[in-house]
């Protein structure tokens, strides 16, 4: 009995220490968070409030930007592109539910949730047919959304979309168990906080951009990864356990909407070899997963040529 009580006491002490560490991390993250410069708007979706911005001429064609998934993901992925794109469009950029500054309800996240969000956002906020640019998972969600409701899309520019080739791995039974473990209230939250520390985010960003992480992007990712407190872990856990993945290979063949793919030559997580040969993707030399951030001027020209 004494041995059992000792084990319980040690476990309780460990959990108390982890809980205290989590609270300190969130306190410091909130204290260092910079006030936003943008004027954000919120779409009251049925699963939670979704943050977005609108830029450009209201009389121009609408363009929706959807970021990829990953640690600290959010609309800040497009901060080097919005002003350029707003010259010829009215640009909408959103934070997917569970990411960025959008609400982060404690729930299971899936690709289907985001596919539905995109179509609902275009219907309720954009209010008409939209051009679309998506990156990574966001590009795949856009393709599936277009397949389900093609009348909402005019043209689609897809940056390193997942769901093709080696980047279409779906969750298995082991991922279900891992998702449960990482979703634990205290230990799972602590793991998430360690995984989105500045050091880990810096390593992740170097892989994404095939080079040093810029300070502004690192700060934005850190803020986004900690906004919402402990609930910030739910979407991230779904990403790590592949529940945000989907396969779009067969769907792609059934979409008639004009589309163009862009790929970074040095994308480590989703190599350019995953691009369908019949799509004739535009390859950005010397770029990783984010050619729109690494070569914003080249990206602006590519987008202008495609959407003209």
Q: What is the mean pLDDT of residues 185-191?
A: 82
Q: What is the pLDDT of residue 215?
A: 85
What rounded mean pLDDT belongs to the chain? 88
Q: What is the mean pLDDT of residues 143-171?
A: 91
Residue 300 has pLDDT above 80, yes or no: yes
pLDDT band at 261 (very low <50, low <70, confident <90, very high): very high
Give residue limits of the domains in the chain.
38-307
Measured distance CA(167)–CA(158) in Å, rounded:
14
Right CATH for 38-307 from 3.10.510.20, 3.40.50.620, 3.10.580.10, 3.40.50.1820: 3.40.50.1820
Q: For residues 101, 107, 112 and 116, what is the CA-based torsion angle, rounded to 10 degrees?
A: -50
**Who has greater pLDDT, 160 or 210?**
160
Q: What is the pLDDT of residue 115?
A: 98
Q: What is the pLDDT of residue 121?
A: 98
Which helix (DSSP H) or strand (DSSP E) does residue 50 occupy? strand 48-56
Q: Look-up: residue for tokens 């220490």?
A: 17
In the three-class reduction of DSSP (H, G, I as helix; E, B as strand; rest coil), residue 144 is classed as: helix
Q: What is the pLDDT of residue 129?
A: 95
Q: What is the mean pLDDT of residues 32-43?
A: 73
Paired tokens of 303: 């987008």
For the ranges 53-62, 145-154, 183-192, 223-232, the lowest mean pLDDT is seen at 183-192
Measured distance CA(209)–CA(97) in Å, rounded:
24
Q: What is the pLDDT of residue 173?
A: 78
Paired tokens of 248: 């779009």
Backbone angles phi, psi at 305, to 5 degrees: -65, -40
Q: What is the pLDDT of residue 280?
A: 83
Residue 189 has pLDDT above 80, yes or no: yes
Q: What is the mean pLDDT of residues 147-167?
A: 92
Measured distance CA(208)–CA(185) in Å, rounded:
29
**Rounded percentage of the chain residues whose pLDDT exceeds 90:** 64
pTM for this prediction = 0.91
State the Cα angle at 98 between 94 and 100, rounded to 5°.
50
Paired tokens of 157: 């520019």
CA torsion sign for 169, 244, 222, 67 is: positive
Query: What are 262-297's pLDDT values in tens digits?
Result: 999 999 889 888 888 788 899 999 899 999 999 999
Query: What are 196-222's pLDDT values in tens digits?
Result: 999 999 999 988 886 676 888 999 999
């Amino acid at each position: 009995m004494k041995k059992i009580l000792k084990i319980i006491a040690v476990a309780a002490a460990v959990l108390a220490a982890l809980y205290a560490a989590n609270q300190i991390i969130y306190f410091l993250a909130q204290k260092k968070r910079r006030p936003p410069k943008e004027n954000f708007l919120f779409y009251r979706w049925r699963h939670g409030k979704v943050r977005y911005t609108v830029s450009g001429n209201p009389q121009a064609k609408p363009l929706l930007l959807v970021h990829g998934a990953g640690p600290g993901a959010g609309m800040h992925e497009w901060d080097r592109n919005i002003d350029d794109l707003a010259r010829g469009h009215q640009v909408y950029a959103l934070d997917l539910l569970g990411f960025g500054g959008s609400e982060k309800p404690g729930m299971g996240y899936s690709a289907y949730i985001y596919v539905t969000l995109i179509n609902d956002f275009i219907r309720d906020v954009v209010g008409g047919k939209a051009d679309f640019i998506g990156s990574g998972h966001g590009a795949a969600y856009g393709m599936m959304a277009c397949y389900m409701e093609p009348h909402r899309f005019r043209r689609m520019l897809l940056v390193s979309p997942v769901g093709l080739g080696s980047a279409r791995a779906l969750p298995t039974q082991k991922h279900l168990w891992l998702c449960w473990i990482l979703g634990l209230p205290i230990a799972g939250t602590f793991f998430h906080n360690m995984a989105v520390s500045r050091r880990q985010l810096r390593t992740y960003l170097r892989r994404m951009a095939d080079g040093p992480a810029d300070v502004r992007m690192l700060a934005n990712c850190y803020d986004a990864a900690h906004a919402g407190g402990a609930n910030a872990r739910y979407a991230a856990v779904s990403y790590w356990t592949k529940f945000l993945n989907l396969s779009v290979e067969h769907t792609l063949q059934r979409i008639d909407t004009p589309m163009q793919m862009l790929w970074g030559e040095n994308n480590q997580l989703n190599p350019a070899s995953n691009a369908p040969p019949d799509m004739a993707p535009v390859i950005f030399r010397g770029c990783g997963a984010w050619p729109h951030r690494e070569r914003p001027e080249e990206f602006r020209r590519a987008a202008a040529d495609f959407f003209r």
